[in-house]
Amino acid sequence: MKQALIKLLERTLRSLSVKIIKKYNPTIVGITGSYGKSSAKEAIYAVVSKFKKSRTAYGNFNNELGFPLAIIGDFKQVSGKLFWIKVVLTGIKTILLKTDYPEILVLEYAADKPGDLDYLINIAKPHISVISGISKYPVHVEYYASPTEVVREKSKLIRCLSENDFAVINADDEFTKFLGKETKAVTVSFGFYKSSDVCINDFENDIERGVPKGISFKLVSENKILPIKLAGVLGKAQSYAFASAIAVAEILGFDIFAAKEALQGFKSLPGRANIIKGIRGSWLIDDTYNASPAAMFGAIEALAETKLDRKIAVLGHMAELGSLADEVHREVGKSLAEKKIDLLFLVGEKSYKIAEGAIAAGMDDKKIKKFSNLIEAQKYIPSVAGPNDLILIKGSQSARMEKITYSLMAEPEMARDLLVRQYGRWLSN
C-alpha cells in the first residue's frame, strides 16, 4: 500500500512539474556528475540569481520525489504530516494562476541507477547541462555493470541537448572531457587544462602565520582575468565550481565581473572541505558530507599541499563502489603514503583496506590506527590533536564522520551552523 501511494505521488509531482515548465518556460541549468554537483549547483545559483529571478533545490533534492520540489515551489526541507499535500496544492495553484515564477531553474540530476536521468530529463530537459566530473571510479557504480555505464548514463544530460543548447564540461576529468563529441550542443570547457574555455590558474591553499585561511586562484576566460579569494575552505573543488559558474554566466550573456562579485560572497556548504578551528590549536578540514573516490583523492591532495606542521587523515569508507571497493580503498591508501601523510586513522572495518594500500606503498604501520566504530575513534583521536596539526575528516554519508569532527571542534557549540546532518533523525542515530 505504501509503495502504491509513493508511485501515485511520483506521477502526480511529475505531471505538475511538466505542466509548470510548459506554462512558464524557464531557462533550465542542469547539473550532474559523480562529484562536485552540489558545490557547482550552489555556485551557479549564486551567479544567476544576481541577474534574474532564479530558484535552485535545497539540500539533496535530485531524485524522483525530490527533483520536482524546486520546480513546483521554494521548499527547503521535507517536514510535517501534510507536506506533500502542500506541495501538490502549490503545484495546482502555480498552474491555474499567474505567479511570479523564476526565469531560471538550477537543478541537480541524480543518476543513482540506470534510467534515472531519462525520468528526470523527461520532466525538465535542460538548456544548459553541466557535468562536474565523473572519474575513473564513479560513485554509485555498485548499481551499474561498469564505470563506463555510469558515464553513459550521466552523458544523457548532454546527449539530450539541441544545437541551440550548451554543454559545460570538466576538461580535467578523463571520463568527461571527450563527452562533447556526443552532443549537438555548443560545448564549453572548464578546468586547469590550459586550453579550457574557462581556465583555472595560480591556485593556492592560503596560509597566514600558520593559520589556514582559504584558497585563491584566477579564472581566465576570453582574455579576461578574474582573481578569486574564498575564505574558509581548502582544496580545488570550489575552484571547479566557480569555473563552471563563470562558464554559465558567459553563456547567458551576463557580465562576468559582476558574476565574480556574486561569487566572492559565496559560502561553502557544510561538510565540503571547510576549515574549522580544532582543539589545542589544531585545524580541521571538515569534508564529511560524502566521499566519492575523486573527492577523496582531491581532499588528500589538499591536506598534503597545505603547509602546516603535521598532516593527519581520519577516514571512513566510501560506499556504493560494488566490486571496485577493495581496489579503490587500497588506491586511497597508496595516495596517502605517496603524499607523506604523517598519521592515518581509519574508522569502521569497511575502511581497513586503505591501510593495506598505505603499507604496501611504504607507510609505516605504526602511523596507522584502526577503530571498529565511531565511539572508539571519538575517544582516542582528540587526545592526539596538537598545535598546528591539520586534520582531514572524510567518509561517505553512512560513515557519519561529522561525529568525529564534532569531537575535535574547539567550539562544538557551533556544530549546528557548521556541520552536516545536524537535524532530526541524524542527531539521534
Shared domain for 377 and 423, answered yes or no, is yes
Q: 264, 297, 314: which is the final residue of a domain? A: 264
Cα–Cα nearest to 285, from 312, 267, 307: 312
Cα–Cα nearest to 320, from 144, 119, 133: 144
Shared domain for 256 and 281, answered yes or no, is no
Shared domain for 156 and 205, answered yes or no, is yes
For position 1, what pLDDT does the model report? 55
What is each CA distance from 83 to 346, 356, 398, in whole angstroms? 40, 47, 26
Q: What are the percentages of helix, strand and coil residues in the chain, rounded to 5? A: 45, 20, 35
Asked whether residue 340 is assigned to any structural domain, the reply reads yes
Q: Which three cell numbers stand for residue 409?
A: 571542534
Q: How many residues does the chain have?
A: 429
Cα separation, 142 vs 325, in Å, equals: 9
Q: In which element (H, E) is residue 371 found?
A: strand 368-371
Asked whether residue 7 is assigned to any structural domain, the reply reads yes
String of b and e for 238-248 (b: at least 16 CB within 10 Å)? bbbbbbbbbbb
Burial, 142: exposed, middle or buried (Cβ in 10 Å; 0-12, 13-18, 19+)?
middle
For position 150, what pLDDT does the model report? 86
The total number of structural domains in the chain stands at 2
Q: 264, 285, 312: which is the final residue of a domain? A: 264
Asked whether residue 194 is assigned to any structural domain, the reply reads yes
Asked whether residue 320 is assigned to any structural domain, the reply reads yes
Q: In which element (H, E) is residue 145 found?
A: none
CB 371 within 8 A of CB 377: yes
Residuewise pLDDT in 10s, the chain (429 residues): 578 888 999 999 999 999 999 999 999 999 999 899 999 999 999 999 999 999 998 877 878 889 999 999 999 888 878 999 999 999 999 999 999 999 999 999 988 888 899 999 999 999 999 999 988 887 777 778 788 888 889 999 999 999 999 999 999 988 887 787 889 999 999 999 999 999 999 999 999 988 999 999 999 998 899 999 999 999 999 999 999 999 999 999 999 999 999 998 888 999 999 999 999 999 999 999 999 999 999 999 999 999 999 999 999 999 999 999 999 999 999 999 999 999 999 999 999 999 999 999 999 999 999 999 999 999 999 999 999 999 999 999 999 999 999 999 999 999 999 999 998 788 877
Tens-digit pLDDT profile for residues 219-253: 999 889 999 999 999 999 999 999 999 999 999 99
Shared domain for 315 and 338, answered yes or no, is yes
For position 136, what pLDDT does the model report? 81
| CB-based contacts of 4, cutoff 8 Å, min separation 6 | none
Asked whether residue 114 is assigned to any structural domain, the reply reads yes
Q: Which three cell numbers stand for residue 405?
A: 569532527
For position 85, what pLDDT does the model report? 95
Residue 406's domain is classified under what CATH number? Answer: 3.90.190.20
Cα separation, 62 vs 324, in Å, equals: 25
Shared domain for 334 and 186, answered yes or no, is no
Asked whether residue 152 is assigned to any structural domain, the reply reads yes
Shared domain for 178 and 207, answered yes or no, is yes
Q: Return the beta strands (E) in 104-243 as ranges.
A: 104-108, 128-131, 166-170, 186-191, 198-208, 211-221, 224-231
Shared domain for 370 and 241, answered yes or no, is no
Burial, 19: exposed, middle or buried (Cβ in 10 Å; 0-12, 13-18, 19+)?
middle
What residues make up the domain containing 401? 274-428
For position 142, what pLDDT does the model report? 79
Shared domain for 224 and 248, answered yes or no, is yes
String of b and e for 267-278 (b: at least 16 CB within 10 Å)? ebbbbbbbbbbb
Shared domain for 214 and 279, answered yes or no, is no
For position 138, what pLDDT does the model report? 76
Residue 58's domain is classified under what CATH number? Answer: 3.40.1190.10
Shared domain for 284 and 402, answered yes or no, is yes
| CB-based contacts of 141, cutoff 8 Å, min separation 6 | 147, 150, 320, 321, 322, 324
Shared domain for 258 and 320, answered yes or no, is no
Cα separation, 278 vs 211, in Å, equals: 12
For position 371, what pLDDT does the model report? 98
Asked whether residue 419 is assigned to any structural domain, the reply reads yes
Shared domain for 249 and 220, answered yes or no, is yes
Asked whether residue 269 is assigned to any structural domain, the reply reads no
Q: 242, 264, 286: which is the final residue of a domain? A: 264
Written as one string, the DSSP assignment of 384-427 is T--TTEEEEEE--GGG-THHHHHHHBS-GGGHHHHSSS-SHHHH
For position 2, what pLDDT does the model report? 79
